[in-house]
Structure 1
Amino acid sequence: MPAECANNVPGDLANLVSRLIMEKFSELTDGMTSAYARRKVLAGIVMTTGESTEGAQVICVTTGTKSINGEYMSDKGFAVNDCHAEIISRRSLLRFLYTELEKHLSDNSEVKNSSIFERREEQGGYKLKDNVFFHLYISTAPCGDSRIFSPHEKVTEEPGDRHPNRNSRGQLRTKIESGEGTIPVSSQITQTWDGILEGGRLLTMSCSDKIARWNVLGVQGKKMMINVSVINCVLACT
């Protein structure tokens, strides 16, 4: 699922995505009066059909800034390791995609035709119908390089990166258990299950790096043979 940069998204579409996510979050938190309205990062995914924004659908709204402590890890998949908002949005999207796959495989022709998927005859597997698009909204820059550099860069009329060779730029980074922010990945650090359970600080890939990985491998993951065309990233940095 390749991604387009935020500045490639038309302003009216970006505003629509932001507004729909905020309206849904307000609805879910009783007009921002619920205790759940106290959030640091808000993310969500909106689906549009064709070039028109009419009928845009909110797929999910998520919030969170926490990662699991090593002592609570599960080798049976019973625990979610990374609960940052944008990561939970992807997990929610996967659940939606599986639901749509079930529709496509239904014996009921009406249900089957309502699915957003169609079969890839030559390559096998499935793909989104040509007019279906997803748009990821994040209320702040993802942790990692995006957050470290983007909000603090001085806006100039000069194109390109003024400091492309800065040693601290473009490094893989990890969230560290009980730490603030992210740290560069060190080749000297090897995480082991036993080491984490014995008190070693758990390292989790930063959201910036995870989103970069989605650009190459797709947000659908290797177990779902789907060619998903585009997910636009809409950042509203506040």
Structure 2
Amino acid sequence: MFSASGSFRGFRGASFAQMLNLPPTSGPRESSKHKSTINGPWEGDSVMQGTKSFRPGPFGKSKVSPKVLVEKYKNGETNALSLLHQLAHVLLLHLEIKETVTADVPPPLPVKEEPSISDSYPCRAFYERKSSVNLQIPHAVKDQLSKLINRHQEFSTCGDTTAAFIIKTSTGCEVVALGTGNFNSKEGVSSNGRVVHDSHAVVTARRSLMRYLYRHLLMYFSKNANLTEKSVFTPSANSNLLSLKSGITLHLYVNQLPKGAAQIPTKLRLNPFSITTLQVNSEISLHLLVEGKVLSIFSSTFDNSACETVSMSTTDKITQWQVLGYQGALLSHFIEPVYVQSILVGDSGGTEIRGMEMSVNQRVEGITSQLPMFYCMMRPHISLVPSVVTSNTGSSHLTYGINWSEGDSSVEIVDGLEGKTIEESPFKSGPALASRLCKAAMLHRFRLVAKEAQRQDLVTTSCYRELKMMAKPYQEAKHVLRAYLCQQGFGSWLEKRPDNGNFTA
């Protein structure tokens, strides 16, 4: 969460071409591409150098149906190129696969794609949604959410926007952190760390994940051998930090696309003279959440004098976590970066994940070489899966959100607009109604771990912000990331107010 007076301007570079690996707009370089086109019934004869051409034979249309061919492709019996040739033969179409040389010209820009013959067949995302591997995680999330809601039916409508983190091992998958919610606090920036400013589902689930990681660090540093063995952590062979045990992977489920650049217009394709570079940069740039609205960092409608606080969009935060890790600065004193291996998006019928792939993966492509040791750009596999919840737009608890992590005896209900626990919440930390996800609560857990780990340098440091700044490699990686995003033309990350983390308890 950031003050409205923070810097938000950035450079509008022509970075879209770099992100999609297009040829540069200057210099003598040439790039070679393969271009597939399906035209109408073949007429005449043409000869091109570097062109592979296929046309139907004289024996008429094949008796094999397109549906059978597509099924074989889905089952892995044929590859994509073979499928194209077979479909061309069955449908009596002329197929050319051209190896073209692109001249040194400005890169084409995206436009909405017109319907094509391939639209009538299942796409990769549709196939992945049906795969057995991708069904395990949403089933686990649905079961866990149902268990939590069934105990507290009065909050059954709080799960409209849901996110969860899942630990996967050879024995199965387990939901370890879960969050719901869709609001930012209307309050100004808290100086005592006891207000949760961003209560969007993914942010809530991530803070619940941090509570899970703290719990397992306490288990690891305990004097109990059984608890140490049950911890997900083990000493790293490459550093004096801990890392997740071999065979454990982390995955993120979201039941809808997060706010921000992930929700850019669907079905974009490269085509010359389509839309302006400014429009493209606006879509894939960093975004702000301002009083319930999502604005590009370049938006001229953002009035910083009229807003108490703003925050970066959820999509941008996921982009950051895939580089810095989901553990945050404080936990980086004890563990190596923790990354998500896959992001599964609940499909509500018309979901398109290309914007998510561009935002999370391609905006930071190539940054790893600039990062300090143990940090990298972790490219998650993004796919569609069944949605686990249905919309409850008429809910009276629209501003409420649920948080839970593995080991919690009950859920906590936070009013997103207030940034605090409600009186009726099954779990309350005290009469002040500060959430267990607030910064002050995280600082308390950090001190418990530092004491168990016998880290006197951390125990004697009292200020929250100072402890974060002491995580030098993490801070260096954050600086590199934000400079990289700005250099690539996606805008400048908002800076937090200096007094935001000066509390001690």
TM normalised by structure 1 equals 0.78
* Cα distance in 1 for residues equivalent to 2:132 and 2:141: 14
* Cα distance in 2 for residues equivalent to 1:139 and 1:102: 31
Alignment partner of 2:183: what SS? strand
Corresponding residue for residue 320 of structure 2: 213
Q: Which AA in structure 1 matches 2:295?
A: I
Q: Is the 8 A contact 1:128 1:229 kept in 2?
A: no
For the structure 1 residues 68 and 113, does the alpha-carbon distance in structure 2 shift closer, same or farther, using more than 3 Å as the test?
A: same
Q: Is the 8 A contact 1:46 1:57 kept in 2?
A: yes
Pairing 1:39–2:171 present:
no
For the structure 1 residues 74 and 229, does the alpha-carbon distance in structure 2 shift closer, same or farther, using more than 3 Å as the test?
A: closer
Corresponding residue for residue 29 of structure 1: 149
* Cα distance in 1 for residues equivalent to 2:226 and 2:151: 37
- CA shift for structure 1 position 142: 0.5
* Cα distance in 2 for residues equivalent to 1:145 and 1:14: 24
Alignment partner of 1:167: what SS? helix
Corresponding residue for residue 114 of structure 1: 230
Corresponding residue for residue 96 of structure 1: 212
Q: Is the 8 A contact 1:44 1:61 kept in 2?
A: yes
Corresponding residue for residue 296 of structure 2: 184
Q: Is the 8 A contact 2:322 2:339 kept in 1?
A: no
For the structure 1 residues 122 and 67, does the alpha-carbon distance in structure 2 shift closer, same or farther, using more than 3 Å as the test?
A: same
1:157-211 C-alpha deviation (Å, 9 max, x unpaired): x8xxx9795232321101002x33x1012499897xxx7xxx6342111000000
Segments of 5+ residues of structure 1 without an aligned counterpart are 1-5
Out of 206, 219, 231, the position equivalent to 2:341 is 231
Q: Is the 8 A contact 1:45 1:61 kept in 2?
A: yes
* Cα distance in 2 for residues equivalent to 1:205 and 1:83: 12
Corresponding residue for residue 398 of structure 2: none
* Cα distance in 1 for residues equivalent to 2:144 and 2:180: 12
Aligned residues between the structures:
213
Alignment partner of 2:284: what SS? coil
* Cα distance in 1 for residues equivalent to 2:165 and 2:249: 10
Q: Is the 8 A contact 1:48 1:57 kept in 2?
A: yes
Q: Is the 8 A contact 1:40 1:63 kept in 2?
A: yes
Corresponding residue for residue 170 of structure 1: 284
Corresponding residue for residue 3 of structure 1: none
* Cα distance in 2 for residues equivalent to 1:112 and 1:163: 57
* Cα distance in 1 for residues equivalent to 2:237 and 2:218: 18
Q: Which AA in structure 2 matches 1:222?
A: A
Q: Identify the range of structure 1 (113-122 vs 223-232) with the bigger mean alpha-carbon deviation.
A: 223-232
Out of 251, 255, 269, the position equivalent to 1:139 is 255
Q: Which AA in structure 2 matches 1:184?
A: S
Corresponding residue for residue 493 of structure 2: none
Q: Which AA in structure 1 matches 2:286?
A: L
- CA shift for structure 1 position 105: 0.7
TM normalised by structure 2 equals 0.39
* Cα distance in 2 for residues equivalent to 1:163 and 1:119: 52
What CA RMSD, in Å, does the superposition of the two structures yield over aligned residues? 3.0
Alignment partner of 1:66: what SS? coil
Pairing 1:153–2:260 present:
no
Q: Percent of aligned positions with the same letter in both sequences? A: 26
* Cα distance in 1 for residues equivalent to 2:158 and 2:203: 19
Structure number with greater CO (CA < 8 Å, separation at least 6) is: 1
Q: Which AA in structure 2 matches 1:176?
A: V
- CA shift for structure 1 position 125: 1.4
Alignment partner of 1:30: what SS? helix
* Cα distance in 2 for residues equivalent to 1:57 and 1:222: 25
Q: Which AA in structure 1 matches 2:347?
A: C
Q: Is the 8 A contact 2:158 2:180 kept in 1?
A: no
Alignment partner of 1:233: what SS? strand
- CA shift for structure 1 position 234: 0.9
Out of 164, 188, 201, the position equivalent to 1:85 is 201
Q: Is the 8 A contact 2:158 2:181 kept in 1?
A: no
* Cα distance in 1 for residues equivalent to 2:243 and 2:252: 19
